[in-house]
Structure 1
Amino acid sequence: MARIVQFDRTGGPEVLTLRDVEVGAPGAGEVRIRVEAIGLNRAEIMFREGAYFDRPSFPSSLGYEAAGTVEALGQGVTGFAPGDPVAVVPGFAQSRYGTYGDLVLVPATAVVPRPADVDPVQAAAVWMAYLTAYGPLVESGQVRPGDHVLITAASSSVGTAAIQMARHIGAVPIATTRGAAKRQRLLDAGAAHVVVTDEEDLVARVKEITGGEGVRLAFDPVAGPGVETVALAVAPGGTLVVYGALDKRPTPLPNAQSYPALSTRTYTLFEITMDPERLRRAVAFVNAGLAGGSFTPVVDRTFDLADITGAHRYMAANGHVGKIVVTVGREDADS
């Protein structure tokens, strides 16, 4: 029997329950993984609440990321063997698969090798964050050495990954945070500048930093009416990428009457993870950054699997910087 987190109705963290579940053998194209660590993401909060684009079917599992070892392979799966250290990337629907458990089934297309020198906690903190940042900052070729990059809500795991990726490219990351409490931690994470939006005028500060020009790329997970302010911080000919919807209010489209000429687009990491060739390039790029020391996932705090509700409450409180990781203890692994 496996220990799997499930829920039977949408709602707060209290709907999550750790249960004994028969996982069974992997089907064609699937891998069964003995999980050691699980990376948490805000998408899982939204899925649990019924506010995600993918809706749960009860009883529902959840989770996009994990690190562990291969236990069994389904028909047609090649390139892995039992005992291999691996990680799971977000390349599937949570309504079909989930990673919150000590033994899980996932599609082989979402499994990547885990370098021997990357421990499970670090590996569980990598893929959602770095693949999300990779698309706009690297794959599109929009960011070049010397460019300024504005990273809003930068204390998230994606934000800290984007800071490191901008640095790796040779760009200048400008991070934003609402309150001053996270300023130093973002500087420690590699931000060249931090704008505290509750205390500073975002556009004025960005123009000051960039010599009046603005940023080449703005990378925003918030959306909503505030996107208009972010757009004003973009240089003429620059790009505004919206990759989330933390603000549920309608998001206006910046127009030429009020803003400099800029490109605007939405983005999701599934553009990378659902395309085998793009995923191959992304995995090679991120693993090279990990091996070279340019990329070091920022792990804010770890929780035990038995305290999954506490982990979700901690994430919802929004006081963390970087990734929240759930570890699978010996008592779970031996169940």
Structure 2
Amino acid sequence: MARQVQFDQLGGPEVLTVREVAIDAPGPGEVLIRVEAIGVNRAEVMFREGSYFLQPALPSTLGYEAAGTVEALGAGVTVFAEGDSVGVVPAFSMNDYGTYGDHVIVPASAVVPRPSNVDPVTAAAVWMAYVTAYGALIDEGGLRPGDHVLLTAAAGGVGLAAIQTARRIGAVPIATTRGADKRQALLDAGAAHVIVTDEEALPARIKEITHGDGVRLAFDPVAGPRVDTLAEAIAPGGKLLVYGALDPRPTPLPNAAFYPDLSTSMFTMFRVTRDGERLRRAVAFVNAGLSDGSLTPVVDRTFDLDDVAEAHGYMESNAQTGKIVLTVGHHVDAS
């Protein structure tokens, strides 16, 4: 038997329940993992609500990433051995697999090695955020040393990962936040500049920082009509990568009235996690950064698995700076 989080209807955090469920042996190409920590992501909140691009097949579990130990291997899995310390990356549909539980089965293609010096909470806070940041900024965005990159809504897990990723290659991260209360946390996280959008005009401030040039890349999880404002801050020939939809309103192409010379596209980390070679490069980059200390996930708070509804409520409050993590068996507040 295993303890797993499930929900029978769409709704708020209260629909999440922890249940005892029977768990089979892993099938061909699958791995059974004893879970120690689980990363909580905005995608899972949206999935539970019914606002994600994928609709849950109810009753449903959920969860994209975790850290733990291999307990059993399905037929054909030869890369790992029982007892290996591993992480789980988002490389599957939550209608097929989920990581919210103390024992979970996931496809071997979504399992990656965990360095021996990386603890489970840190490992659970890594993969969604850092693979997204690496994939968008470096693999797809072509960010180079010295380039300015604009990171909007930067106080979340992906935004903080993107700050560190940009710093690691010598780029210049410019972070935005709506209110001034998160300014210092973003500076402490490595942002070269922080723009408080409730107080400052973003395009003008970007032009001031970049001496009139604009940024080479903007990385945005908000979308909606405000992409016009972002377009004004991007240098000619630059890129706008949208990776979320926190604003549910339609997202237009940047206003053609001023003919912005930029490319605009949506980015999903599945482009990396479902491509074996791209994922291999991403894992190598992230594990190297974890080992040398240049990539250090910021964990805002952890919750016990039994407090999963509280954890989702905390994410919905937008009070966190960094990652929210579920732990199996204990409750810790990180500071």
TM-score (structure 2 length as normaliser): 0.97
Q: Return the letter of the residue paired with 2:96.
A: R
Say whether the 8 Å CA contact 2:304–2:330 is kept in structure 1: no
Displaced runs of 4 or more, over 4 A: none
Return 5+ residue gaps in structure 2 as ranges: none
Q: CA deviation at 1:66?
A: 0.3
Q: Return the letter of the residue paired with 1:323.
A: K
Distance 2:136 2:329 in 1: 36
Report the equivalent of 1:168.
168
Say whether the 8 Å CA contact 1:231–1:259 is kept in structure 2: no
Report the equivalent of 2:213.
213
Report the equivalent of 2:42.
42
Report the equivalent of 1:53.
53
**Equivalences for residues 247-266 of structure 1 within 5 A:** 247-266=247-266
Report the equivalent of 1:147.
147
Report the equivalent of 1:315.
315
Change (3 A) 1:17 1:199: same
CA deviation digits over 1:75-98, x for unaligned, max 9? Answer: 111111111000000000001100
Q: Which moved more, 1:253-262 or 1:104-113?
A: 253-262
CA deviation digits over 1:63-84, x for unaligned, max 9? Answer: 0000000000001111111110
Q: CA deviation at 1:99?
A: 0.3
Distance 2:42 2:259 in 1: 31
Taking only the aligned residue pairs, the percentage that are identical comes to 73
Distance 2:141 2:242 in 1: 17
**Equivalences for residues 245-324 of structure 1 within 5 A:** 245-324=245-324
Distance 1:209 1:164 in 2: 19
Distance 1:239 1:53 in 2: 23
Report the equivalent of 1:87.
87
Distance 1:269 1:136 in 2: 8
Report the equivalent of 1:186.
186
Q: CA deviation at 1:141?
A: 5.5
Distance 1:244 1:284 in 2: 25
Say whether the 8 Å CA contact 1:132–1:269 is kept in structure 2: yes
The Cα RMSD (Å) is: 1.1
Q: Return the letter of the residue paired with 1:64.
A: Y
Report the equivalent of 1:159.
159
Q: CA deviation at 1:161?
A: 0.3
Q: CA deviation at 1:330?
A: 6.5
Report the equivalent of 1:122.
122
Q: CA deviation at 1:259?
A: 4.2
Say whether the 8 Å CA contact 1:62–1:100 is kept in structure 2: yes
Look up the SS of the partner of 1:257 in the other structure: helix
Change (3 A) 1:330 1:2: farther
Q: CA deviation at 1:140?
A: 2.7
Q: Return the letter of the residue paired with 1:304.
A: D
CA deviation digits over 1:17-59, x for unaligned, max 9? Answer: 0000011110111100000000000000010011111111122
Distance 1:330 1:196 in 2: 36
Say whether the 8 Å CA contact 1:148–1:216 is kept in structure 2: yes
Look up the SS of the partner of 1:38 in the other structure: strand
CA deviation digits over 1:74-129, x for unaligned, max 9? Answer: 01111111110000000000011000000000000000010000000000000000
Q: CA deviation at 1:142?
A: 2.0
Q: Return the letter of the residue paired with 2:216.
A: R
Distance 2:330 2:267 in 1: 39
Distance 1:176 1:190 in 2: 13
Distance 2:265 2:8 in 1: 36
**Equivalences for residues 18-37 of structure 1 within 5 A:** 18-37=18-37
Q: CA deviation at 1:175?
A: 0.2
Q: CA deviation at 1:242?
A: 0.5
Q: Return the letter of the residue paired with 2:88.
A: V
Report the equivalent of 1:201.
201
